[in-house]
């Protein structure tokens, strides 16, 4: 769960309210559905979240706590708040550049694109999930493949196929999106050869900051038995006021 929680002009929004909901849903394209779903979880313009992430392995497990801020598709900042030995580490995305800061060794590292596929903080999430270098809206071709219920909720089944020129981790994705609430209840992510890499399942649906969203996302790798990562949203705020200057290398070192 990118545990990001990124994506209409005023006339467009106004027209949405003038069209009946049922007719609006029937007229929406697969891309519009994916965009609305992505917007709802991350905030159309900006967002803040506080989360816990439990990494489960056959012989051990550990929990990481963190805060994240994001703005549009260009800016993201994540701060580790626990455990103590990793507290204060930050990760920054500013347009096309990505950085990490480790206060224990006072070291600022620029993250190359090759590191986007690596696990974030020892979890089954990747750096790209957290920093969102790629865009599920701009980098994929979207197709509605039908309808299918998930946990007794009617969902669109939508395939996201990577564009030929897109620099992304996943060759294809399958999303099951709740037709009423525009929530991704299930996702499957495949590599460029079509092999399933991991599955995600959302649960504990509740209203947070005025939006009905899943508070828990469970990620399970396809080939590693006993491996799992569970993310829980403690707090979330959408469309907060935040400047571009907030996402700076200086703020990486001082934010708390």
* Strand partners for 69: 48, 77
pTM of the full predicted structure?
0.83
Q: Does some domain include residue 160?
A: yes
Going by C-alpha positions, the residue among 107, 85, 114 that lies closest to residue 252 is 107
Instruction: Tell me how many degrees the CA angle 41-45-49 measures, rounded to the nearest 5.
Output: 50
Q: Does some domain include residue 97?
A: yes
Determine contact, residues 4/42, Cβ cutoff 8 Å: yes
Q: Which domain holds residue 144?
A: 10-254
Greater pLDDT, 111 or 61 = 61
Q: CATH code at 140?
A: 2.50.20.10
Looking at the structure of the chain, the number of domains it has is 1
According to DSSP, the β-strands at 60-71 and 46-57 are antiparallel
Determine contact, residues 77/3, Cβ cutoff 8 Å: no
Which value, in Å, is the radius of gyration of the alpha carbons in the chain?
18
Q: Which pLDDT does position 227 carry in this prediction?
A: 97
pLDDT tens, 149-175?
999 999 999 999 999 999 888 999 999
Distance from first CA to last CA of the chain, Å, rounded?
23
Q: Does some domain include residue 40?
A: yes
pLDDT tens, 32-71?
999 999 888 777 789 999 999 999 999 999 999 999 999 9
Cis upstream peptide for 83 (omega within 30°): yes
* Strand partners for 144: 158
Buried b (16+ CB within 10 A) or exposed e, 108-132: eeebeeebbeeebbebbbbbbbbbb
With a cut of 60, say whether residue 140 has pLDDT above it.
Answer: yes
* E strands, the chain, in order: 46-57, 60-71, 75-82, 90-94, 97-102, 107-110, 140-150, 153-162, 172-178, 184-190, 196-208, 211-221, 228-238
């Amino acid at each position: 769960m990118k545990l990001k929680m990124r994506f209409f002009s005023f006339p467009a929004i106004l027209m949405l309210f003038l069209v009946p909901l049922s007719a609006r849903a029937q007229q929406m394209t697969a891309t519009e559905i994916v965009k609305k779903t992505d917007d709802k979880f991350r905030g159309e313009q900006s967002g803040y979240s506080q989360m816990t992430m439990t990494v489960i392995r056959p012989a051990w497990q550990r929990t990481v706590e963190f805060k994240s801020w994001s703005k549009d598709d260009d800016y993201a900042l994540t701060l580790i708040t626990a455990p103590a030995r990793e507290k204060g580490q930050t990760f920054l995305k500013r347009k096309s550049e990505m950085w990490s800061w480790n206060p224990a060794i006072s070291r600022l590292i620029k993250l190359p694109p090759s590191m986007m596929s690596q696990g974030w903080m020892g979890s089954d999430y990747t750096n790209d999930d957290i920093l969102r270098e790629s865009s599920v809206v701009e980098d994929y071709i979207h197709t509605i493949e039908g309808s299918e219920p998930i946990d007794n909720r009617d969902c669109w089944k939508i395939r996201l196929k990577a564009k030929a020129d897109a620099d992304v981790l996943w060759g294809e994705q399958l999303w099951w999106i709740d037709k009423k609430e525009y929530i991704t209840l299930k996702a499957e992510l495949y590599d460029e050869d079509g092999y399933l890499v991991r599955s995600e399942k959302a649960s504990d649906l509740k209203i947070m900051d005025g939006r009905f969203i899943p508070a828990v996302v469970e990620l399970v790798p396809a080939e590693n038995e006993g491996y799992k990562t569970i993310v829980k949203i403690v707090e979330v705020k959408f469309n907060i006021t935040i400047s571009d200057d907030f996402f700076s290398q200086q703020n990486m070192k001082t934010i708390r």
